[in-house]
Structure 1
Amino acid sequence: MPVLDQTLVLCVYGFFSNLRPSEPFLTAYLLGPDKNLTETQVVNEIYPVWTYSYLVLLFPIFLATDFLRYKPVLVLQATSLVVTYVMLLRAQGMLAMQLLEFFFGLATASEVAYYSYIYSVVKPAHYQRVTGYCRSVALFGSAAGSLTGQLLLSVVKVQLVHLVIITLTTAAVASVAPWFLPMPKRSLFFHKSPATAEKPSSTALLERTKDSESKSPPNSQDVSMISRSSETGSHSSGLVEVLQVLFDDFLKCYRCRSLLAWSLWWALATCGYFQVINYAQALWENIRLSQDNEIYNGYVEALSTLLGALAALLVVYLPVCWSLWGELVLCVLSLLMALCVFAMYTVRNIWLCYSAYVLFRAIYMLLITLATYQIAASLNMQRYALVFGVNTFMALLLQTLLTVVVVDSAGLGLDVFTQFLIYGGYFAVISVVFLLAALCKLASRGRSKQEEEVLANSRAGTESDSSPMVTDGVSHTE
């Protein structure tokens, strides 16, 4: 099967699997007459299950994706989505909805197969292009689903249950696509191709080193020069060997200070971002009850997704020296995200709340795209698959702790408004952390410049003292 056709099938799958008209109205549906659940059950007992299952399944699915060579996990994801929406349509009761959240967590964890499959069938020179295609199509599918759901609800006046039926239909259509994909013969860690297993020549290493130095931010050369331990193994690797390679690469990658800083923001901010988007619908439901008023969640989700995509594109054109000002930018924009969340907590006007949410998501999309680029620029494919996975795992671990303490009924079980007050404070703390990091970097650079000037002056003085002095045609040295 030609690579172009495989990319097309992946794009079809990405579009239809993300085309979910019911997604912006999930909380309203669960609280409505179709499921008749209470807000406490939905917010404090059902939604946290997704966080827990995503965290527990992420690493096993990551290994299974590589070991099984992608296609079986893609089929698993598609099947999990179908099961999720069948249960959303037919099942009743809190336990059934908790099981539904588990299957959705399985589908979310399996998403790694969607973005990894293409790397096994295309050349590295085409990675960026095909990744752009797959991500753009998935994003467009999400926006189209939100907009379709809102138009059907507002214009055609359909019931929420009809949106669930449509979402189930699109998930069923998406589940057909993975079966048309061929099984790759190689993967990143367990099934490496002979060409990958061979040690690169010195010329190839030199070219790769020059390329990484030309595009990597300062202080990242040590990452780009990481030994290719996972590329020099045998054709097929065992679990213990793969785990050892992953652990060694993990230690080597995170010794780079700039990569560590961007990864720290990634983990901290993604944790807070997940919490905000997961419980925003519950907040809106408290401000404007869907049973008594028309809601516009679909327009908001579609607009925030499209603006987020536009903000992500702007990263390419921002004339900023990220190696110098990166931490300060993260500080300022994290503070702006905190203000957006505080506004959602404070202002009980649905339109201002919607606006703050749209701005919040756009800022996150911009910064996460920037963090992705800054990390990927200094790593090869194996390394950034690992680093992105570790960053996501740390974000989920933090989110789980936050969920257990703040959201879960086994913990504090706080109401949704108090939760958003805490989330606003959480982003404010992130801003303070990166303000301190920015000040430390500027102070360090100032000291480095002073040391360089002193060293330069010392060298100039030494050269002046040792140079011969000519007086009346006679050379003298002091």
Structure 2
Amino acid sequence: MSEPWFYPTVLLCIYGFFCSHRPLEAFLTPFLMGPDKNLTEKEVVNEIYPLWTYSYLVLLFPVFLATDYLRYKPVLILQAASFVVTYTMLVKLQGVWAMQFLEVIFGLATATEVAYYSYIYSVVHPSHFQRVTAFCRSVTLFGSAIGSLLGQILVSVAHVPLFYLSIITLTSSCIAFTAPWFLPMPSKSLFFHERQSSFQDKANKESINTNRHIETIEDPETQLKPDETTTLQNNAVRNGFLDVLKLLWADFLQCYSSPTLVAWSVWWALSTCGYFQVINYTQALWEKILPSKDFEIYNGYVETLSTLLGALAAFMVGIVKVSWNVWGELALCIFSGVITVCVFLMGSVQNIWVCYTSYILFRAAYMLLITIATFQIASNLSMKRYALVFGVNTFIALLLQTLLTVIVVDSAGLGLDVTLQFVVYGGYFAAVAVIFFFAGLCKLLKSRSCGGEEAVLNRG
């Protein structure tokens, strides 16, 4: 007899693989700027791509609450439908307005990603959390790498037009759309339904008693009784919502009272903001340095290698024993410095091979650090607070990214050329490295000071 966690895990892995299997993803900017869509660099970089950031920010918190209230599965279906709509629009529609609306739908698909990683915790025993999480994350990375590799082989070897990569990507999204429908519906969630179960039992009893009372009375006016019960239920749902918000706020204050958690969360938010910006606009930089209409490009190989190297770096964190409580700030400073150099090289050296290499190292360094940060934050948190802290960190990252996008990227702001944007991003990561250099220095001086005081006390 199969384990109870096996069936939903297989479905989630199928869903994760085909959702992330997007051969067009590595060639999206050349596709939009090529003959299929015929958009300019300014339209793509300064007018279309920023809409993803804005929509992701606006939708993140409502989707976070809706995911828990609806118990994950409906939101997973919504995410799958959003991917299908996104790639259908990409295949069929033309023009700036259509692509901007597409970015909004894609922002919805990205915001609903929380349902994918939250669903399993509601249907699987905690003893299987680590195993199932590893399966889901690994298969998602594997699907992304295979998609990028397939896209590059089709472009370089078979000379397939980019339009057909969009068809394959749409097909993968349609296959993914079928998987969530067969998932079992969770009976509970982290916040809402765990706290409303007692009320629901009471409401059901009240409804039964009311119906029995109606059956014994023939007066038509008594037929209003069920509506009163519905009103009571709606009031309780509203009260439950307020209770959840109060609980979230209390947990927020308690979680962020820890200096260690705050330090790792600050790095998480700052670096994720910069990471999103580099990932969003790096293809535009490559397209400017090596236009796909004139030269053969290797975006797919680069994305595949960077994904696999990032996965390897994340894996190494799990097997290498290091006291991150002691060396954490130093590691953040050193690898943030590596990220800074990589981003500066991408923006200042107009050589595609330097850009490709720097991008691979950039993603590997980020994946290494984000894995450490994830482990450090999650190690002392319950599952509920884990979801809350990562939701808050993502929201702060998106808020910072929105400010950066409005000022640097958007046509309403400076609307900088993509090369200058990467110089700005390099300066941004340099500031992050400096912040954690001083944080590490202060921690080192504090530990030495404490050590000196202990030595004096011991002598006394």
TM-score between both structures, scaled by the size of structure 2: 0.90
Paired with 1:156 and 1:2, the residues of 2 have a C-alpha distance of 44
| Of 4, 8, 12, the match for 2:10 | 8
AA partner of residue 14 (structure 2): V
Question: Structure 1 counterpart of 2:161, which letter?
Answer: Q
**Which deviations, in whole Å up to 9, do the C-alpha atoms of 1:105-133 show, x marking residues without a partner?**
00000000000000000111111111111
Q: How much has 1:457 moved relative to structure 2?
A: 2.7
Mapped partners of 1:241, 1:184: distance in 2: 21
**What is the alpha-carbon distance in structure 1 between the residues aligned to residue 52 and residue 302 of structure 2?**
23
Cα offsets for 1:154-210 (capped at 9, x unmatched): 11111000000000000000000010012110000001189999xxxxxxxxxxxxx
SS, match of residue 378 in structure 1: coil
2:68 aligned residue (63, 66, 69): 66
Distance 2:239 2:16 in 1: 30
CA contact (8 A) 1:340 1:360 kept: yes
Deviation at 1:455, TM superposition (A): 2.3
Per the alignment, do residues 237 and 147 of structure 1 end up closer, same or farther by CA in structure 2, a change over 3 Å counting? farther
- 1:444 matched residue in structure 2: 446
Taking the aligned partners of 1:434 and 1:113, their CA distance within structure 2 comes to 32
Task: Provide the aligned length of Structure 1 versus Structure 2.
Answer: 422
Determine the structure 2 residue equivalent to 1:285: 287
Where does 1:29-40 land on structure 2 (aligned, <5 Å)?
Answer: 29-40=31-42
Per-residue deviation, 1:316? 2.1
Select the residue among 381, 396, 399 that pairs with 2:398: 396
What residue is the counterpart of 1:56 in the other structure?
58
2:195–2:240 CA contact under 8 A, matched in 1 = no
Within 2, Cα distance between the matches of 1:429 and 1:23? Answer: 30
Give the counterpart of 1:108 among 110, 122, 125: 110
CA distance in 2: counterparts of 1:237 and 1:327, whole angstroms: 42
The 5-angstrom pairing of residues 68-467 of structure 1 reads: 68-192=70-194, 238-458=240-460
- Cα distance in 2 for partners of 1:298, 1:98 equals 24
Letter of the structure 2 residue corresponding to residue 331 of structure 1: C
Cα offset, 1:32, TM superposition: 0.6
Divergent runs of 4+, >4 A: 193-197, 234-237
Q: Which amino acid aligns with 1:360?
A: F
| Residue 235 of structure 1: how far off its partner (Å) | 12
User: Which runs of 5 or more structure 2 residues have no equivalent in the other structure?
Assistant: 200-235
Distance 1:456 1:322 in 2: 28
The 8 Å contact of residues 192 and 235 in structure 1, kept in 2 or not, is answered as no
Amino acid at match of 2:67: T
Paired amino acid for 1:14? G
- How far 1:237 sits from its partner (Å)? 7.3
State the shift of 1:446 in Å: 1.2
Give the number of the structure whose residues are more often helix, by fraction: 2
Distance change >3 Å, CA 136–CA 328, structure 1 → 2: same
SS of alignment partner, residue 238 of structure 1: helix
Percent identical: 65
How far residue 447 of structure 1 moved from its aligned partner, in angstroms, is 1.4
Q: Contact (CA 8 Å) 1:191, 1:237: kept in 2 or not?
A: no
1:319 Cα deviation from its structure 2 partner: 3.7
Give the AA of the match of 1:130. Answer: V
Q: What RMSD in Å do the two structures reach over aligned CA positions?
A: 1.8
1:44-77 residue CA offsets vs partner (Å, 9 max, x unmatched)? 0000000000000000000000000001100000
* Whole-Å separation in 1 of the counterparts to 2:47 and 2:196: 50
Measure the CA separation in 2 of the matches of 1:384 and 1:393. Answer: 14
Residue 354 of structure 1 and its aligned partner are, at CA, apart by 0.2
Unaligned runs of 5+ in 1: 198-233, 459-478
Give, in whole Å, the separation in 1 of the partners of 2:186 and 2:318: 33
Is the Cα contact below 8 Å between 2:196 and 2:240 reproduced in 1?
no
Classify the secondary structure of the residue corresponding to 2:179. Answer: helix
Residue type at the aligned position of 2:412: A
Q: Deviation of residue 456 (structure 1)?
A: 2.4
1:19 aligned partner: 21
2:394 alignment partner AA: T
Amino acid at match of 1:404: V
Q: What TM-score results when the alignment is normalised by the length of structure 1? A: 0.86
Aligned residue identity for 1:278: N
